[in-house]
Structures are given as structure tokens and as C-alpha cells.
Structure 1
């Protein structure tokens, strides 16, 4: 009898849990659809509340939480000045960390780490970050995932910080020239990769094959 009661309670618990998860998924799907439509129409203020609800309740539900969330928070940052930006700057940094946690395969360290460093650099005054801390941010990401550290602006900022640190006598001439060679080589590699991709697309067009939407954006 005790065994039967235990089994019954287990079935009730599991069944109830499944219903709860189903209801949660349905609610998250509904709110995701709502905020995604708002984002598509660039109504970011209206998107914020349903987006936050899904982000907090179902962080693994869909990568759209992070793709759209980036746009929502960037809009907040763009509209504000000075210290008023700080909560949203910090939240965008947190959002990228959450994306890396829940969608690691879609969040290359080199790309999103460089974006985070660039955001810190652009808001260095309100974040109270000096050149040494910012350089360390870029340097850590660059060394961790050089292949995906491809953003030209981030590469420029990375090296310009090295120059600033050299001017401040915090880096040696050898370190400066070594980093110069490293970054120039990286830029040359990226130019080569881009040229190869463009040549492939040109050949595809010449053959009469229609390019995909993604290919047309290259």
C-alpha cells in the first residue's frame, strides 16, 4: 500500500510539473511573440517589459531573447546621457554573459567579448575604467579567441590602447612593436578572408546562382 501511495504521489507530482512547464512555455512563447513584433517595428520601449519577463522566466527558451534584448538595451543606452546610461550598460554586459551561458555555441568569445570590451571603452567614464583595465579586457579576449576577434573597430581600439599605455610609460617599446606586428598580421588575415569570401560570391553570381539574403549582406 505504501508503495502504491508513493507511486501515485510521484505521478501526480511529475504530471503537475509537466503541466507547469507547458504553461510556462506557452506564456513565454506568447510574450516572446509580443516583444519580437515590437522590436521588428522598432518600438523598443513597449518591447522592454514582455522581453524582461521572458528573459527572467525562460532564459533558455529562444536565442531571440538575446538578439532582440541587445537591440532593446542599445536603444535605452542611445537615448540616455551620462550616468543615466549606467544601469543599461551593465545590463547589456550581463545579457551577453547570459547568452554565453545559455547559447554558448551561438556566442563566440572573440566576437561577444570584443563587443563587451568596446561597450566598456565607449562608456569608460561612467564605468570608471582606465586604459590599463580596458587594454586587459581586449587582451584577454584576443588571446582567448583570436579567430573570432574580427571587428575592425575593436582591433583599432585594442592597439590604440597599447599606444596610450606606451605613451604613459606603462608598456615598453618591445611590447608596442610586438603588438603592432600581431594586429597588422590579424588585419591582413581578415582582409584575405573577406576577399576570398567575396570572390566566391562573385563566382556564384557569374554562374547565375542567386545569392541568399545572408550572402547579399556580406
Structure 2
């Protein structure tokens, strides 16, 4: 009974102390200083709030991270700096304790604080990343954190760490691949994810041979055949040099069966292409383009078709180049390819010598559009146009043929009308 009374007494004293501390006023005090960029002055008031009002407001932690980082950046000595960095780590622990739903990746954030502030503690950093990725990989959006974790994992494997096998590295590769693929899909404007992907692919190029990837994904497919993220990651890993492996087509067909998307259709198109099933490949590339909501990606698919599978079907190639330009009016390379197609058909589509030269005139105009649409291509476009000039109709020839200000329609597959200048 005395113990119970004692506990209630402690709780009463604690509550009384909390009530005596005016959390609301103190929060306003430090935040006004913080907003006025008086960071040093805000520190003491913020510290009191952190101690006495830990659950009052999440901003206590988000502001606190900025306040402490300011003090770190202005630390007088390495010892003071590390002490402050350690305080940031404690703040992350406190943040997670009081707002756990908002901080699932707090361990990864702690690791990145150590890295950003150049604290030499590799084992600690790796352990924080390893734990953080194991617990909350789907909440991690920092491209640098994903790359850092995988690079440290590879470093341990390459140094002979017996706890990390080749199979474990490939499993980790599959994880980070999946994360980066999801992030590139949800945040296509962020190029950091693609950069991280390329860097990771380079790190593992000696281990991730087609033979090893084929064996790894074939072995693990039965346990993951309903896991769209895992299958997508596998297909991303294989889609470069290894898309001719049988497992690629197996995975592509399964992903498409589970979920029809622009991406799954694209994988299936690639699989059919590698098996030389060209009609099926064209079908699925078209479906991928139709399902694609990103106009730039849609344009890329149409351009790939126009310059690849449909390149020998001139009317179709032109049709798909125009589709690409409709989706992305700044795709200068589509104009360049179309200009080259025109020039290659001058003799076939021109009935007279004048018309043949007129086709080159059209090719010049088309090439010049590339430089306008995409300025970085102007040197290439200008060179191409200059090459065509030697075979094009001249100003004198236009005048001699009395075509100044007159339009000429080129038939054949080109089916374009050229209007010559009045003078």
C-alpha cells in the first residue's frame, strides 16, 4: 500500500512540474527566435521545450534538427562537433519514441547524419543502415542512403566478410533495385534515383553476370511469383544485357498477368523482341505507349518503334516519329531521323530531277526543325542540312522552274507539300 502511495506521489509531483512549465509559451519563444534566424539564441528555449514537453509538438524535433545542425556547422572544435552530432542521434531516438509513426526510417537518418558530418564510425553507420533497411525499407526515399548502404554491403563482401555471401549481395541488390524502381516511378522528376541505379549497377557488374542473375532469379522465383515489386526488380536487373534469358520472359509474362501497366507491357515487348517475335513485340510496345501517362516516356517508346522494328516500313516509321513528336514536341532526334528517311528516298519518291532535289529541300527543312526543338542538337542539325544542300534544289533552279511562291506535293510514302519562297 505504501508503494502505491509512493508511486502516486511521484506521478503527482511530475505532473505538477509539467504544469508549472508553460510549454505553449516556451514553444512560441524559441520558434520566434528560430524564424528570425536567431538560431543560437533559440537554443536554450528549445532545449527546455525538448526536455519538458517531448510530446507537445512534432516541430520540436524538426526545428531541433536544424538548430543542432547549425551549432554543428559552427562548432569550435572537432570534439564539440562530435558531441553535438551525438546529440542529434539522441534527438532522433527521442523523435522516434514520441512520434514513431512519422519516423520509421530514423536509424537510416542517424547513419546519414554521421556521414554528412564526417564522423569516422563505419561499423556504427553500417549497423544503423542495416537495421534501418531491415525494418523500414519501403519508407526510405534518400537516393544517397540507398547507394551508401549497398556500397558498404558490397565493400564488406569484397573484403571477405564471411557473414555476407554472393547470394546475400544479390538479394540486397534485388531490394535496392526494387526501391529505386518504385521511386523512379513515383518521382520521375528526381534524377538522383537514376544516378544511384547506375552507380549500383556499376558496383555489382562483376557479380551480377547474366549467369548469376539467371540462377538467382530462377531459384527465388517460386517464392516470389505473386510479389510484383520483386518481379519488377528482377526484370529491371535483367532488362539490359540479360533479357534474352528464359527467366526474363517467364517473369515478364507473370508480371503482365498480375498487373497490366505500361511497364509490364514494355517488359513483355522486350521479351518478345529478344525471342524475335516481332509482331508480338510491336503489339506490346504499342500497348505500353497507350498505357503510359508520362508523355516523354510515351514519346520514347514511339521513337524506339520508329527507329527499330518499324524502320524498314517507311510510312509506319514516319507515322510513329510523328506520334513521338506529338507526345514530345522537343524531341529533336525524331526530326533528324525523319530528315534522313526523306533523303534516303529522294530517288524513289521524286518523279523528275527537280522533284528529287525537292525531297532534299524538304529534308533540310526537317533537319533544321531539330535544332529549333532541341537547341543542343543544332550543330548536328546544321551539319546534316549542309550535307543535304549539295543535292538540294537551288534558288536559281526554283526560279528557272517558275516555282517561286508555288507549292509542290511529294507523293510516295512521304506525302508532304513544300512551299518554295516567293523570291
TM-score, structure 1 normalization: 0.71
Q: Which residue of 1 aligns with 2:112?
A: 118
Of residues 83, 88, 101 in structure 2, which corresponds to 1:105? 101
Q: Which has the higher contact order (CA 8 A, sep 6+)?
A: 1
Q: Answer yes or no: is 1:38 the counterpart of 2:29.
A: no
User: Which position in structure 1 is the counterpart of 2:180?
Assistant: 187
Match of 1:147 in 2: 138
RMSD of Structure 2 on Structure 1 (CA): 2.8
Q: Deviations over 1:1-31 (max 9, x none)?
A: xxxxxxxxxxxxx8x998765442xx22112
Q: Relative to 1, partners in 2 of residues 1:88 and 1:147: Cα closer, same or farther, differing over 3 Å?
A: same
Q: Give the gaps of 5 or more residues in structure 2.
A: 1-11, 190-292, 295-423
Q: Which residue of 2 aligns with 1:215?
A: none
Counterpart selection for 2:71 from 69, 72, 76:
76
Once residues 67 and 103 of structure 1 are traced to their aligned partners in structure 2, the CA distance between those partners, rounded to angstroms, is: 11
Gaps of 5+ in 1: 1-13, 201-218
Residue 46 of structure 2 is matched in structure 1 by 51
- Once residues 14 and 108 of structure 2 are traced to their aligned partners in structure 1, the CA distance between those partners, rounded to angstroms, is 40
Aligned to 2:156: 165
The alignment partner of 1:42 has SS state of: coil
State the alpha-carbon separation in 2 of the partners of residues 162 and 57 from structure 1. Answer: 40
Q: How many aligned residue pairs are there?
A: 178
Deviations 1:167-199 (CA, angstroms, capped at 9, x unpaired): 322243333233222211210011112249xx7
Secondary structure class of the residue paired with 2:176: helix
Which of the residues 55, 60, 66 maps onto 1:60? 55
**What is the alpha-carbon distance in structure 2 between the residues aligned to residue 105 and residue 178 of structure 1?**
27
What are the superposed Cα offsets for residues 64-84 of structure 1, whole Å, 9 maximum, x if unpaired?
A: 211111110011112235332
CA distance in 2, matches of 1:21, 1:84: 31
CA contact (8 A) 2:26 2:46 kept: yes
Cα distance in 1, alignment partners of residues 143 and 109 from structure 2: 11
TM-fit CA distance, 1:116: 0.7
Shift of 1:96: 1.1
Give the whole-Å Cα distance in 2 for the aligned partners of 1:137 and 1:75.
23
Instruction: Tell me which structure has the larger Cα radius of gyration.
Output: 2
Residue of structure 1 equivalent to 2:83: 87
Determine helix, strand or coil for the equivalent of 2:187: helix
Shift of the alpha carbon at 1:118? 1.0
Q: Determine the C-alpha separation between the residues in 1 that align with 2:79 and 2:170.
A: 37
8 Å contact kept, 2:112–2:145 = yes
